[in-house]
Amino acid sequence: MRKAIVPIAFIAILAILGGYLITNAYRKNRKPEQTEAPQTEEIVSLDDLQATDTVVLLKKDPAEMKLQVRHLGGMDDYELTYDGTVPFLNKYGNSITAAEIANGEVLDVVYSKHSGKINSVRISGQTWTMTNMTDYEIDSNRKIMTIMGETYQFGADMMAYSEDEPVRLMDITNIDTLTIKGYNRKVCSVIVEKGHGYLRIQNDAYFVGGWIEVGQKIIRPITEEMLLPVPEGRYKVRVTNRGYAGEDNVVIERDKETKLDLSKIEVEEVAIGHVQFELSPEFAQLYIDGEITDYEDRVPLEYGTHKIKVTAAGYESVETNIKIGNDYANVEIALDPLPEGEEEETSEGTTNPTGPQTTEEQPAAEQAPAESTTTEIPTISENKKIYVQSPEGVEVYLDGNYIGVAPISTNKVTGAHTITLSKTGFITKSYTIYVENDNNDVTLSFSELLSE
């Protein structure tokens, strides 16, 4: 019995000892319990969640309810979203739809910084808008836009749109009608309200050297193979030369060519008007259609448009167009003296504010609208050239006048010009360029024309 108790006691001791060793090892190897830090809820104010910004609308996506915008005065572009509950307001606070807001519009937006969701949109009342603008000039080199004689700046962030699609500034010609939006003296965006198409003159041999009038928009001497950029719309076209005239009606569509075959229009003899010119000073010289003219007696002129230039030493020259439509007419032009120390300049498209004048005895000749109102005098250089390098094989027109097939060059003429590229089977394209008055050649290359 005693012999049996000893082994059992020994086994029990071993079991207790093993349990102790195992428990001790577990305690040594066990990681201390991690105590989680108490959660604290971050409190964010409403001001931190919302942002207010003045932006230019780059693009809208009504299907996805998204607006792509650019911060006014910078190149920071970002995307905002909206839903059916977001109010869209015009500048007067009246409700409008998102579809009524055009790309290029300047907007005041309130939105969530966190989600980019819009809370409200309003057409900004802090900016200015000019609509139906035709009196402007864009100088891309100096980043200057002249609007009705006033100068405004623009930067790389300025956007241009035509038919709600972005375009380059050089795609806009000076015959397009624009909506212009800006802030202070800076232009933010331009939107083409009415674009331009083209009038191609065919079978023009008899009328070369005469005049073409497209409504009241364009009055130009006729040159061979003309391709005139013309604002879109309906026009009566009149051509005159050597005592004969013809008329036809045309429709100009945006970015499309309209052909006018001068051999198919009815031509009739032109009546003659007798014009009395009264010029001040009395020793001023008169040029009519480029030829010096004695104006002591009445000057016989064909009905239609004539280019008039009056010059005198010590006076500002005047260059304008007059339209003859009466048997007898009087034209009075007074030149302004030059300021001391200034050289004589030609003020194209301007006349003395009081001229041409009418008298009780005879009606005045009608002053036709000048094609350009710029006061900068174009300079023609025979030593320096404008080169059009590409695309090769396209017909090149400078201000509607054919100069050849690219690559081609022509004498350098300073100022703003329209370069038109045309090729059978491709869409005709025009670009506006500004040629500086420097001693350098101008080399131009353009994108390939798109197929019709």
CATH class, range 196-269 = mainly beta
Alpha carbon distance 216, 218 (integer Å):
6
Domain 380-445 falls in which CATH fold? Immunoglobulin-like (2.60.40)
pLDDT surpassing 90 at residue 13? no
Give the pLDDT confidence score for residue 351 in this predicted structure: 37
Alpha carbon distance 308, 346 (integer Å):
12
Domain boundaries along the sequence of the chain: 48-123, 128-194, 196-269, 272-368, 380-445
Higher-confidence residue of 117 and 371: namely 117
Distances (CA, A) of 139 to 51, 142, 143, 261, 389: 36, 6, 6, 36, 22
Residue in 122, 54, 118, 67 with CA at minimum distance from that of residue 94: 122
- Name every residue whose Cβ is closer than 8 Å to that of residue 365 and which is 6 or more positions away in sequence: 273, 275, 322, 323, 324, 325, 326, 329, 330, 331, 356
Give the pLDDT confidence score for residue 244 in this predicted structure: 86
Tell me which architecture the domain covering 48-123 has in CATH. Answer: Beta Barrel (2.40)
| Same-fold call for 196-269 versus 380-445 | yes
- Name every residue whose Cβ is closer than 8 Å to that of residue 17 and which is 6 or more positions away in sequence: none
The 3-state DSSP class for residue 441 equals coil
User: What is the average per-residue pLDDT within 58-78?
Assistant: 88
Give the pLDDT confidence score for residue 352 in this predicted structure: 37
pLDDT bin (cut points 50, 70, 90) of residue 257 is very high
Give the pLDDT confidence score for residue 400 in this predicted structure: 92
Give the pLDDT confidence score for residue 354 in this predicted structure: 36
pLDDT, tens digit (0-9, with 9 covering 90-100), for 304-333: 788 899 999 999 999 888 888 888 999 999
pTM score, two decimals? Answer: 0.69
Give the pLDDT confidence score for residue 346 in this predicted structure: 41
Give the pLDDT confidence score for residue 24 in this predicted structure: 62
Q: Which amino acid is at 249?
A: N
Give the pLDDT confidence score for residue 114 in this predicted structure: 86
CATH classification of 272-368, choosing from 2.60.40, 2.40.390, 3.40.50, 3.30.1540? Answer: 2.60.40
pLDDT, tens digit (0-9, with 9 covering 90-100), for 184-238: 899 999 999 999 999 999 999 889 988 899 987 788 889 999 999 999 999 999 9
Give the pLDDT confidence score for residue 89 in this predicted structure: 94
pLDDT surpassing 50 at residue 348? no
Give the pLDDT confidence score for residue 23 in this predicted structure: 59
pLDDT surpassing 50 at residue 355? no
pLDDT surpassing 60 at residue 359? no
pLDDT, tens digit (0-9, with 9 covering 90-100), for 152-174: 999 888 899 998 889 888 889 88
The 3-state DSSP class for residue 222 equals coil
Could you tell me what percent of the chain has a pLDDT over 70? Answer: 80
Give the pLDDT confidence score for residue 241 in this predicted structure: 86
Alpha carbon distance 126, 107 (integer Å):
9
pLDDT surpassing 70 at residue 295? yes
Give the pLDDT confidence score for residue 168 in this predicted structure: 87
Q: What is the mean pLDDT of the chain?
A: 83
CATH classification of 128-194, choosing from 2.60.40, 3.40.1340, 1.10.1040, 2.40.50? Answer: 2.40.50
pLDDT, tens digit (0-9, with 9 covering 90-100), for 388-444: 999 999 999 999 999 999 999 999 988 888 999 999 999 999 998 888 888 889 999
pLDDT surpassing 90 at residue 145? yes
Give the pLDDT confidence score for residue 49 in this predicted structure: 79
- The residue count of the chain comes to 452
pLDDT, tens digit (0-9, with 9 covering 90-100), for 260-274: 999 999 888 888 889
Please spell the DSSP secondary structure of 156-181, one letter per residue.
TT-EEEETTEE--GGG--TTSEEEEE
Give the pLDDT confidence score for residue 323 in this predicted structure: 83
